[in-house]
C-alpha cells in the first residue's frame, strides 16, 4: 500500500514541477538566467549580486547544476538537425524536469539510507514525498533546493565514514570534501547545518590521517577550482596567474561580509530573531510542527536541522525558503501520535494543509508570469513592456526578443506615476490599433502587464479617454494569484481577499495614446 502511495506522490510532484508557478525571482536570476547568457545567445539581465563591486554569488555550483544540462540540450538540439538556438521555454521546462528527477532520486535516496528502521523509513519517505515543499520549492531552480540535497548527502557521507567497518574511507572522504565546498559556494548558510554532525568526524579523522588528508586535498582543490571559475567570470579580460594570485574573487567571503552588515540586510527586510521558529517553520511544516515539539525522534538529522535553525535565526533577514534543508531532516525525525484517533486527525490536517499550500504555491502563485513572458516573446511589435505589481519577469525567456524589447519592472510604483510613465512611452493610437490583429504590423508597441486584482486600473481600461490613454486587452491568464497585492490596512480583510482571490489572473494590455495630428477615426 505504501509503495502505491509513494508512486502516486511522485506523479503529484511531477505535475507540480510542470506547473508554471513562480515562487521567487531568485529561482531564475540566481541560476538559469546567468548560465543561459553564457551558453546561449539570449541577452540576460544580471542582478546586483553579480554586478556588485564585490560579487557575492558564485557561478561554480551553477555550471554542474544548470550548465551541463543546457550544454547537453544544445548538443541534442543541434545533433537532430535543428537550426538556430533552442527556444528558452524548452530549456525552462527541461530544468524543471531535471530538478524533479534530481530531487526524486537524491533526496529520497538520502532519506532511505539515513534511516535504518524499515517502519520509520517508510513513514519518513511518505511524509517528505507528501510535503508541498517537496512538490514546489524542491522542483524549482532555487539555490536553497540544491542546498537541501547537499546537506542530506553530506549527512549520508558522514554516516558512511563514521559507520564504516573498513579501515579506508578515502573515497567517501574525497567526495565529502568536494560536496562540502560545493555547498559552501552554493550558499554560505550551508555550514550551519553541519556544525553538530561534523563533530562526529573529529575522532574518526584523528585516528585515520589518510582519510583526513583525502578530505583536505579534495576541499582545497575544489576551492581553488571554484575561485578560478569565479575570477574568470567576474574579470573583464582574460585572466592570468597574476589575477588568480593577487586579485582572486572569493564570493563566499564577499557574501558573508555583505550579510553581517545590518545596513545591507535592511535593504531586504529585517525580521525578529524568532521569525524562523514561530512563523517560517510552521509555514513550511504545518501540522508536522506539532510533532517536532511533541513526538521528536533524536537523530543526526534532527541535530543538523536544529543547528541550522539556530544559526540562521542569528541573522536579521529571515525568509522561509532559507529553511528548506530542514524540511526533510525534520519530517524524517518525527513520529506520529500514539492514539489511532489522533493519527487520523493529524493525517487529515496534513493532507488538507499540503493540498491547500501546494495549490497556492505550486499553481497560482505568480503563475502567469512565465506564460506572459512567452506571449511577449512572440509579439512582433513589442518594443516596451511595463510590468506592474508582479515579480520581476525572467528576461532570458524572451528568446532574444529583448534585443528590441525593453522590460521595465515597476512593481511598487503608485498608480498615478504608472500612468505618467505609460503616457511617455505609449505609441500613437491609429485605426490599425482597433482592427483585429492589425496592430501587430506596427513597428513599435507598448504593453502593460498587471494582475487583474489591480482594481486601480478599472476606470482607465474601458478607453474613456482618461489621461489620453487607450488600453486594448490582448492576453489574460486565470491561474495567477498576486499575494504581494494584499492591502489589509486600506481595504480591510474581506475586501482585500475578495479582490485578490476573486479577481485572480494576469492580463496584458497594448497601450496607445491620442496624438495631435494623428487621425484616429
Q: How do residues 185-223 score in pLDDT, each as one tens digit?
A: 999 999 999 999 999 999 999 999 999 999 999 999 999
CA-based nearest residue to 379, from 461, 423, 472, 444: 444
Residue 521 pLDDT greater than 50, yes or no: no
Q: Which helix (H) or strand (E) holds 454?
A: none
Residue 146 pLDDT greater than 90, yes or no: yes
Say what the pLDDT of residue 488 is. 65
Using one digit for the tens of pLDDT, what is the confidence trace for 334-375? 999 999 999 999 999 999 999 999 999 999 999 999 999 999
**Confidence class of residue 93 from pLDDT cuts 50, 70 and 90?**
very high
Copy the grid coordinates of residue 477: 491568464
> Does residue 165 sit in helix, strand or coil?
coil
Q: How deeply is 1 buried, as exposed, middle or buried, from its count of CB atoms within 10 A (0-12, 13-18, 19+)?
A: exposed
Say what the pLDDT of residue 327 is. 97
Using one digit for the tens of pLDDT, what is the confidence trace for 374-416? 999 999 989 999 999 999 999 999 887 777 899 999 988 888 9
Residues 466-488, mean pLDDT to the nearest whole number: 83
Say what the pLDDT of residue 497 is. 81
Rounded to two decimals, the pTM is 0.92
Residues 61-69, mean pLDDT to the nearest whole number: 95
Using one digit for the tens of pLDDT, what is the confidence trace for 455-476? 888 888 887 656 678 899 999 9
Mean pLDDT of the chain: 90
CA-based nearest residue to 509, from 361, 417, 401, 375: 375
DSSP-derived secondary structure for 182-225: HHHHH-TTGGGGGHHHHHTHHHHHHH-HHHHHHHHHHHHHHHHH
Checking DSSP bridges between strand 446-451 and strand 384-387, what pairing results, if any?
A: parallel
Distance CA 253, CA 467 (A): 51
Q: How deeply is 317 buried, as exposed, middle or buried, from its count of CB atoms within 10 A (0-12, 13-18, 19+)?
A: middle
Say what the pLDDT of residue 120 is. 92
Amino acid at each position: 500500500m505504501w509503495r502505491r502511495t509513494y508512486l502516486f506522490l511522485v506523479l503529484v510532484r511531477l505535475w507540480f514541477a510542470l506547473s508554471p508557478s513562480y515562487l521567487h525571482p531568485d529561482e531564475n536570476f540566481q541560476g538559469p538566467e546567468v548560465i543561459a547568457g553564457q551558453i546561449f545567445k539570449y541577452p540576460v539581465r544580471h542582478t546586483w549580486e553579480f554586478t556588485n563591486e564585490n560579487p557575492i554569488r558564485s557561478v561554480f555550483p551553477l555550471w554542474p547544476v544548470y550548465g551541463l544540462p543546457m550544454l547537453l540540450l544544445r548538443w541534442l538540439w543541434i545533433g537532430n538537425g535543428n537550426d538556430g538556438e533552442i527556444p528558452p521555454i524548452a530549456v525552462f521546462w527541461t530544468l524543471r524536469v531535471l530538478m524533479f528527477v534530481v530531487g526524486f532520486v537524491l533526496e529520497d535516496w538520502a532519506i532511505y539510507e539515513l534511516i535504518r528502521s524499515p517502519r520509520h523509513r517508510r513513514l519518513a519517505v511518505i511524509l517528505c514525498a507528501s510535503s508541498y515543499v517537496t512538490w514546489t520549492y524542491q522542483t524549482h531552480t532555487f539555490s536553497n533546493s540544491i542546498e537541501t540535497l547537499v546537506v542530506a548527502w553530506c549527512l549520508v557521507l558522514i554516516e558512511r565514514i563514521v559507520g564504516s567497518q573498513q579501515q579506508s574511507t578515502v573515497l567517501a572522504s574525497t567526495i565529502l570534501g568536494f560536496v562540502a565546498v560545493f555547498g559552501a559556494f552554493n550558499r554560505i548558510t550551508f555550514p550551519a547545518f553541519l556544525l553538530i554532525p561534523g563533530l562526529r568526524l573529529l575522532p574518526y579523522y584523528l585516528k585515520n590521517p589518510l582519510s583526513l588528508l583525502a578530505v583536505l586535498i579534495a576541499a582545497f582543490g575544489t576551492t581553488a577550482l571554484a575561485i578560478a571559475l569565479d575570477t574568470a567570470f567576474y574579470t573583464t579580460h582574460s585572466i592570468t596567474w597574476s589575477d588568480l594570485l593577487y586579485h582572486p574573487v572569493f564570493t563566499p567571503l564577499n557574501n558573508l561580509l555583505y550579510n553581517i552588515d545590518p545596513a545591507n540586510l535592511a535593504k531586504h527586510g529585517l525580521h525578529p530573531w524568532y521569525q524562523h521558529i514561530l512563523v517560517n517553520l510552521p509555514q513550511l511544516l504545518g501540522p508536522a510542527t506539532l510533532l517536532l515539539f511533541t513526538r521528536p525522534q533524536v537523530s543526526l538529522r534532527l541535530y543538523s536541522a536544529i543547528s541550522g535553525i539556530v544559526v540562521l535565526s542569528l541573522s536579521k533577514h529571515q525568509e522561509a525558503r532559507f529553511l528548506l534543508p530542514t524540511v526533510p531532516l525534520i519530517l524524517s525525525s518525527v513520529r506520529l501520535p500514539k492514539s489511532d484517533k489522533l493519527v487520523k486527525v493529524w493525517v487529515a490536517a496534513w493532507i488538507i494543509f499540503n493540498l491547500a499550500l501546494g495549490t497556492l504555491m505550486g499553481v497560482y502563485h505568480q503563475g502567469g508570469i512565465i506564460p506572459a513572458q512567452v506571449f511577449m516573446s512572440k509579439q512582433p511589435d513589442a518594443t516596451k513592456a511595463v510590468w506592474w505589481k508582479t515579480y520581476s519577469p525572467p528576461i532570458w525567456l524572451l528568446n532574444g526578443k529583448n534585443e528590441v524589447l525593453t522590460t521595465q519592472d515597476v512593481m511598487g510604483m503608485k498608480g498615478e506615476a504608472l500612468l505618467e510613465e505609460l503616457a511617455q512611452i505609449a505609441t500613437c493610437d491609429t485605426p490599425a490599433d482597433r482592427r483585429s490583429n492589425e496592430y501587430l504590423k506596427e513597428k513599435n508597441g507598448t504593453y502593460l502587464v498587471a494582475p487583474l486584482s489591480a482594481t486601480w486600473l478599472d476606470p482607465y481600461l474601458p478607453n474613456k479617454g482618461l489621461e489620453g490613454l487607450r488600453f486594448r486587452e490582448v492576453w489574460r491568464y486565470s491561474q495567477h494569484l498576486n499575494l504581494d497585492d494584499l492591502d489589509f490596512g486600506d481595504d480591510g480583510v474581506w475586501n482585500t481577499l475578495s479582490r485578490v482571490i476573486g479577481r485572480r489572473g494576469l492580463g496584458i494590455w497594448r497601450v496607445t495614446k491620442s496624438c495631435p495630428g494623428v487621425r484616429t477615426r
